[in-house]
Amino acid sequence: MAGIYIHIPFCKQACYYCDFHFSTSLKYKDELLRALVKEIQLQKDYLDAETIETIYFGGGTPSILSADEINLLIGTVTGLHTVSSNAEITLEANPDDLNREKLQAFRQTEINRFSIGIQSFFDDNLEWMNRVHRANEAEASVKRAQDAGFDNLTVDLIYGYPLLSDKKWKQNLEKVFELEVPHVSSYAMTVEPKTALASFIKNKKQPAISDEQSARQFILLMHAMQEKGFEHYEISNFCKPGHYSKHNSNYWKGVKYLGIGPSAHSYNGETRQWNIANNAKYMQAIEAGKISAETELLTEANRLNEYIMTSLRTMWGLDLDKLNSIAAASAIELVLAARRFFDKGWIEQKDNVIYLTQTGKLYADHIASGLFF
Would you write out the chain's pLDDT as a tens digit for each of its 373 residues?
A: 999 999 999 999 999 999 999 899 999 999 999 999 999 999 999 999 999 999 999 999 999 999 999 999 999 999 999 999 999 999 999 999 999 999 999 999 999 999 999 999 999 999 999 999 999 999 999 999 999 999 999 999 999 999 999 999 999 999 999 999 999 999 999 999 999 999 999 999 999 999 999 999 999 999 999 999 999 999 999 999 999 999 999 999 999 999 999 999 999 999 999 999 999 999 999 999 999 999 999 999 999 999 999 999 999 999 999 999 999 989 999 999 999 999 999 999 999 999 999 999 999 999 999 999 9
- Residue that is last in its domain, among 252, 284, 312: 252
* Cα distance between residue 292 and residue 270, in whole Å: 19
CA atoms within 13 A on the CB side of 64: 21
Q: Domain for residue 288, yes or no?
A: no
- Shared domain for 359 and 224, answered yes or no, is no
**What's the CATH code of the domain at 167?**
3.20.20.70
CA distance 221 to 288: 49
Within 13 Å of residue 286, how many CA atoms lie on the same side as its CB? 24
Domain range for 28 is 2-252
Position 20 scores a pLDDT of 92
Task: Return the pLDDT at 254.
Answer: 92
Question: Is there a domain that residue 213 lies in?
Answer: yes
Give the residue from 155, 361, 123, 113 showing the smallest Cα distance to 247: 113
| Residue 60 domain flag | yes
pLDDT at residue number 197: 95
CATH number at residue 320: 1.10.10
Peptide bond before 3: cis, by omega within 30 degrees of 0? no
Mapping DSSP onto H, E and C, the string for 52-95 reads EEEEEEEECCHHHCCHHHHHHHHHHHHHHCCEEEEEEEEEEECH
Kindly state whether residue 37 falls inside one of the protein's structural domains: yes
Q: How far is CA 246 from the centre of its chain?
A: 11
Closest CA to 23 of 286, 290, 281: 281
Contact between residue 66 and residue 100 where contact means Cβ atoms under 8 Å apart: no
What total of structural domains would you count in the chain?
2
- 3-state SS, 186-252, equals EEECCCCCCCHHHHHHHCCCCCCCCHHHHHHHHHHHHHHHHHCCCEEEECCEEECCCCCCHHHHHHH
- Beta-carbon contacts of 204 under 8 Å, excluding residues fewer than 6 positions away, are none
Cβ(163)–Cβ(125) below 8 Å: yes
Its sign, for the CA torsion 29, 143, 174, 232, is: negative
Q: Are 242 and 314 in a shared domain? A: no
* Same domain, residue pair 166 and 238: yes
Q: Is 342 exposed, middle or buried (0-12, 13-18, 19+ CB in 10 A)?
A: middle
pTM, rounded to two decimals? 0.96
What local confidence, expressed as pLDDT, does residue 8 receive? 98
What residues are paired with 332 via a beta bridge? Answer: none
User: Are residues 317 and 241 part of one domain?
Assistant: no
Same-domain status, 92 and 228: yes
The answer as to whether 162 is a domain residue is yes
Q: Are residues 14 and 132 in the same domain?
A: yes
- Pair (25, 144) in one structural domain: yes
Return the closest-CA partner of residue 66 out of 96, 95, 33, 106. Answer: 106
List the one residue out of 13, 211, 171, 6 whose CA is nearest residue 91: 6
Q: In what order do the strands lie in the sheet with 318-319?
A: 318-319, 353-356, 347-350
Chain center to CA of 78: 23
Q: How far is CA 139 from each of CA 120, 172, 197, 298, 321, rounded to the nearest angstrom?
A: 10, 11, 26, 43, 45
> If we measure between CA atoms, which residue out of 102, 183, 94, 103 comes closest to residue 137?
94
24 shares a domain with 127: yes
Asked whether residue 28 is domain-assigned, the answer is yes
- The pLDDT value recorded for residue 114 is 98
Q: Given 213, 236, 252, which residue is the final one in a domain?
A: 252
Judge if 237 and 311 occupy the same domain. no
Work out the widest C-alpha separation in the chain, in whole angstroms.
58
Q: Is residue 231 part of a domain?
A: yes
Are 25 and 132 within one domain?
A: yes
